[in-house]
Structure 1
Amino acid sequence: MEYHVGLDKLVKELKMEVIYTPAPLETIMVTNADVNRPGLMLVGFYEYFDPSRIQVLGKVEMSFLDGLEVEDRKQRLRTLIATKPTAIVLTRDLEAYPEMLEYVKEFGVPLLESSENTSALMSAIISILGVELAPRITRHGVLVEVYGEGILILGESGVGKSETAVELVKRGHRLIADDAVELRRVSNRTIVGSAPENIRHFIELRGVGIINVARVFGVGAVKPSERVDMIVELEPWDKAKIYSRTGLESDNMELLGIPIPYSVIPVRPGRNLAIILETAAINNRQKKMGYNAAEELLSRLGLENDITK
């Protein structure tokens, strides 16, 4: 599935100036998260040029064009703009050539301007598009931030996901999403979760109803998005099932092709799930820093060989 984002979002977030647009910016869709500086195109190398990328002209490209004869410059600019790139952006408040304005109008190409330096602007564009155009799925669950760790809580309906989230919020942690969690693969190592706009900050508690967490607990109790560092599945306690007691075994669940640490936590009366998840978050952070309590205990007991079995 191909995702897209309106050019107006980039212009608004990066405070760019619109020199020319052939149509309302919200109707011009960006579909490629990559950005290009068309230096090779301007010197005559046309292979592998991708017009679906936003083209950024900085000081280097404009200085090169300044050194050309007028007719030569016109020909090179026309060749570039005739490919109809998604948009052309001038950085450092560089001034567009008159012929550039003529050609963008002829071929219907948006022309934008930014005061940022070229590298900073390209990095910002890639960062925004990396999120907006990322592959995504929606999972039924709750996403919370606990001690800086993003925990995706899964489990069947009624198992206590939302109640656990509210208890964590009361203890100073933050809610990202309840019920529907939109997960995006923003890089080859990172999954970021957020809530759909229409249900953001709302949470459902059976017997109480719908509450707005930002209104009840304050804006410090919510966050728009968070990286998923671990997955916890809540399930009713099954006496016949053997649950992990040492944490020595490391299980993963794949989300969009990325393995995420995964644990199953049994639920029964008397268990404080909020405290358990706080401890799980701290333990997960320690493991990322290279420390494993189970391995240390086995080492103290002289059972180091059991670690590799």
Structure 2
Amino acid sequence: MPKVRTKDLMDHFQLELISGEEGINRPITMSDLSRPGLEMAGYFTYYPKERVQLLGKTEISFFEKLLDSEKRHRMDSLCTDITPAVIVTRDMHVPPELIESSEQNGVPVLRSPLKTTRLASRLTNYLESKLAPTTAVHGVLVDIYGVGVLLTGKSGVGKSETALELIKRGHRLVADDCVEIRQEDQDTLVGSAPELIEHLLEIRGLGIINVMTLFGAGSVRSYKRITLVMNLELWEQGKQYDRLGLEEEKVKIIDTEITKLTVPVRPGRNLAVIIEVAAMNFRLKRMGLNAAEQFTNKLAGVIEEHEQD
């Protein structure tokens, strides 16, 4: 199923339908837009016909200066069988040649009161968000001090219970059990909850609870950028765990690498506090303060002094 259709743009941006109603269900497959200035001049060799076409003041004023025979030919070439829509901005008059070609080829012609650059910016942001690569992972996403922490681990390890304790400590739940992730930029992952389970948390023995109802609107948020992954695993006797934090492990989600920490779970460990401190420490590292490096440098200095003595 196409993620975005022309009708979605009409509804979201309240665009006026002028002609070509037959094509309002055409799919939009890319976020790039086109302002067909060269095409108005007759150069269609590299015409990106699969993009949404924006006609602003420059394109329309140039078009009005063309001969009548040229006008019809240009609009016939502009309206193809895969063009999602032609949008005229600034509430300008729509050329009758465009209306005729759009009806003939089933290309929706829409009109907006916004300036071309303003509309182009909003359309691009909307389409990039909707058309971004997506995936779903099993885990819990929590906003801790502004850091989007994705808790992962095997079923029953205690992810939801840890999230509940974090919520009680004032942090915010984004998603439990299933986290939908979209890559909005080369290094930006945004997580959200499926609509069906939004604001819900499953606690074994209690069942499903509504976090927003129990703890208030301040305890949830709709989406959050993911910057840290914390994998919870049952403590294995004899396994070596990182005790200094010098090496940063990475995990790849879609095309983006995210910092990953592995936290062993066993009775007596307060996971909520550990995760809370990990988020604060991650923020400090982002600000240039690395306690592990400072300790290592200090230790190396002490060793060097003893060797000189």
State the distance in 1 between where 2:243 and 2:140 align: 24
* Mapping of residues 90-101 of structure 1, within 5 Å: 90-101=88-99
State the distance in 2 between where 1:216 and 1:29 align: 41
Residues 134, 304 of structure 1: alpha-carbon distance in 2 compared, 3 angstrom cutoff: farther
Residues 155, 197 of structure 1: alpha-carbon distance in 2 compared, 3 angstrom cutoff: same
Letter in 1 for 2:9: L
Residues 62, 305 of structure 1: alpha-carbon distance in 2 compared, 3 angstrom cutoff: farther
User: TM-score when scaled to structure 1?
Assistant: 0.91
Deviation at 1:192, TM superposition (A): 1.4
Q: Which residue of structure 1 aligns with residue 73 of structure 2?
A: 75
Q: Which residue of structure 1 aligns with residue 295 of structure 2?
A: 297
State the distance in 2 between where 1:49 and 1:288 align: 44
Letter in 1 for 2:87: V
Deviation digits for residues 152-197 of structure 1, max 9, x if unmatched?
A: 1100111111111122222222211111111112221111111122
Q: Which residue of structure 1 aligns with residue 178 of structure 2?
A: 180
Deviation at 1:201, TM superposition (A): 1.6
State the distance in 1 between where 2:213 and 2:294 align: 44
Q: Which residue of structure 2 aligns with residue 22 of structure 1?
A: 21
More displaced, 249-258 or 235-244? 235-244
Deviation at 1:298, TM superposition (A): 2.1
Whether 1:118 aligns to 2:89 is no
Q: Which residue of structure 1 aligns with residue 307 of structure 2?
A: none
Deviation at 1:286, TM superposition (A): 2.2
Residues 247, 167 of structure 1: alpha-carbon distance in 2 compared, 3 angstrom cutoff: same
State the identity %. Answer: 43
Whether 1:64 aligns to 2:58 is no
Q: Which residue of structure 1 aligns with residue 188 of structure 2?
A: 190
Q: Is the 8 A contact 1:175 1:223 kept in 2?
A: yes
> Equivalent of 2:249, from 251, 256, 276?
251
Give the match's secondary structure for 2:139: strand
More displaced, 53-62 or 72-81? 72-81
State the distance in 2 between where 1:183 and 1:123 align: 23
Q: Is the 8 A contact 1:235 1:267 kept in 2?
A: yes
Q: Is the 8 A contact 1:84 1:107 kept in 2?
A: no
User: TM-score when scaled to structure 2?
Assistant: 0.91
Aligned length: 304
State the distance in 1 between where 2:212 and 2:16 align: 34
Give the match's secondary structure for 1:269: coil
Residues 261, 3 of structure 1: alpha-carbon distance in 2 compared, 3 angstrom cutoff: farther
State the distance in 2 between where 1:136 and 1:275 align: 31
Q: Is the 8 A contact 1:33 1:129 kept in 2?
A: yes
Deviation at 1:41, TM superposition (A): 1.7
Deviation at 1:233, TM superposition (A): 0.3
Q: Which residue of structure 1 aligns with residue 6 of structure 2?
A: 7
Whether 1:31 aligns to 2:17 is no
Give the match's secondary structure for 2:117: helix
Whether 1:237 aligns to 2:212 is no
Deviation at 1:94, TM superposition (A): 1.8
Residues 290, 6 of structure 1: alpha-carbon distance in 2 compared, 3 angstrom cutoff: same
Deviation at 1:21, TM superposition (A): 4.3
More displaced, 262-271 or 27-36? 27-36
Deviation at 1:301, TM superposition (A): 3.0
RMSD between aligned residues: 2.2
Deviation at 1:271, TM superposition (A): 1.9
More displaced, 215-224 or 228-237? 215-224
Q: Is the 8 A contact 2:2 2:27 kept in 1?
A: no
Residues 289, 17 of structure 1: alpha-carbon distance in 2 compared, 3 angstrom cutoff: farther
Residues 116, 303 of structure 1: alpha-carbon distance in 2 compared, 3 angstrom cutoff: farther
> Equivalent of 1:200, from 192, 198, 201?
198
* Mapping of residues 146-295 of structure 1, within 5 Å: 146-295=144-293
Letter in 2 for 1:151: V
Residues 208, 300 of structure 1: alpha-carbon distance in 2 compared, 3 angstrom cutoff: same
State the distance in 1 between where 2:55 and 2:302 align: 59
Q: Give the structure with higher Rg (CA).
A: 2
